[in-house]
Amino acid sequence: MQVLTRRGVALCFLLLLVLLFAASYVAGRLGVGGETRFALSPEKIAVIHVSGVLNDATHFLREFHTFKDSRDVKAIVVRIESPGGTIVPAQEIYEEIRKLRGSKPVVASLGNVAASGGYYVASAAEEIVANPGSITGSIGVLAVFQNYQELMNKIGLKTEVMKSGEFKDLGNPMRDMTPEEMEMEQQLLENIHQQFIRDVALGRNRSVEEILPLADGRVFTGEQALKEGLVDRLGNLQDSIERAAELGGIRGKPTVVYPAEKRLSLLDFLFQQIGLRVQGLFPDLGWSFRPLLLYAPFLP
């Protein structure tokens, strides 16, 4: 009898551990114990941040899919704090937002800067809310080529390039570009620029002819962008949340939820820091001739 009692106590203890683990897991998934993430209210507004230079859309797409498939989330606010970045991440985020048109409202909230690729992303939303002083627009494409030829000549360093294909080393920083290469690169930029203009026009429900005069790379304040029809209204993040609640059919004060914060392990943090140090010690000296084509203002 005593053995059975001990066994029963052990089973109860094990069951308690399983329940605690399950509760901890659920709390972690729902964000309980820290900043409010999910509440018991059945109708919610999700806020997702797009921040920094856009060079990878994977993290955003993962968060976006989590909320877009949630029945409790009636609308999504995309808070944008980005000067843009490389082309494909902006296009990937744009496409994911566009797919929700007609099923779940998405409101873009512009912070300090939502320009170039940042505006590209915003233009996919059902509505755009900007602060009066937000910097936005910059509808254009940029490519910067480095030329180290004179420097290499001064220090006596010479490179030999072997290639198969006339334009394979286009952008080689050890020589000047030929007129043919310049023309080819300009055609490439023009094509990507047209994609940018076309997608903004589609997202804003305007014609390409209406967007074209605004697509010369200039930036606008939020007030200017409102007059030009690039944004829909002025307001802050809270205004964007309230507008999303209206579009989502939520009555009263909405429950606001955020993605669970990703916590870096010590090993991930160390590798991240090592990568940053190596990048600082060995800047790009032309190991890849092709420059990054950017949806971003010029950054020297």
DSSP state of 141: -
What lies within 8 Å, CB to CB, of 129 at 6+ separation is 107, 108, 109, 110, 231, 232, 233, 234, 235, 236, 239, 240, 243
CA distance 236 to 239: 5
> Which residue type, as a one-letter code, is found at position 118?
G
Q: What angle do CA 179, 184, 188 make, to 5 degrees?
A: 145
pLDDT by 10-residue block (mean), the chain, 300 residues: 54 61 49 40 86 91 89 94 92 95 93 95 97 96 84 84 83 85 90 96 96 95 97 97 93 86 60 54 40 51
Structure tokens at 300: 């020297």
Selected catalytic residue, list 24, 51, 163, 168? 168
168 is catalytic: yes
Domains defined for the chain, CATH in brackets: 19-264+290-295 (3.90.226.10)
Quote the pLDDT of residue 272. Answer: 56
Alpha-helical segments (H) within the chain: 2-30, 58-68, 87-98, 117-122, 149-155, 179-203, 208-211, 222-228, 237-247, 266-281
Selected catalytic residue, list 68, 104, 109, 116? 116
CA distance 130 to 109: 6
Quote the pLDDT of residue 271. Answer: 56
Contacts 24+ apart (CB under 8 A), 282-286: 284/146, 285/146, 285/148, 285/173, 286/146, 286/148, 286/172, 286/173, 286/174
**Pairing status of strand 44-51 against strand 73-82:** parallel
Give yes or no for a contact between 148 and 231, defined as CB atoms under 8 angstroms apart. no
Quote the pLDDT of residue 175. Answer: 84
CA distance 213 to 263: 44
> Which residue type, as a one-letter code, is found at position 290?
R
pTM for the whole thing? 0.75
Residue 45 bridge partners (DSSP): 75, 256
Which position has the token pair 């873009």?
Answer: 108
DSSP state of 253: S
CA distance 87 to 81: 17
CA distance 112 to 135: 6
Quote the pLDDT of residue 7. Answer: 61
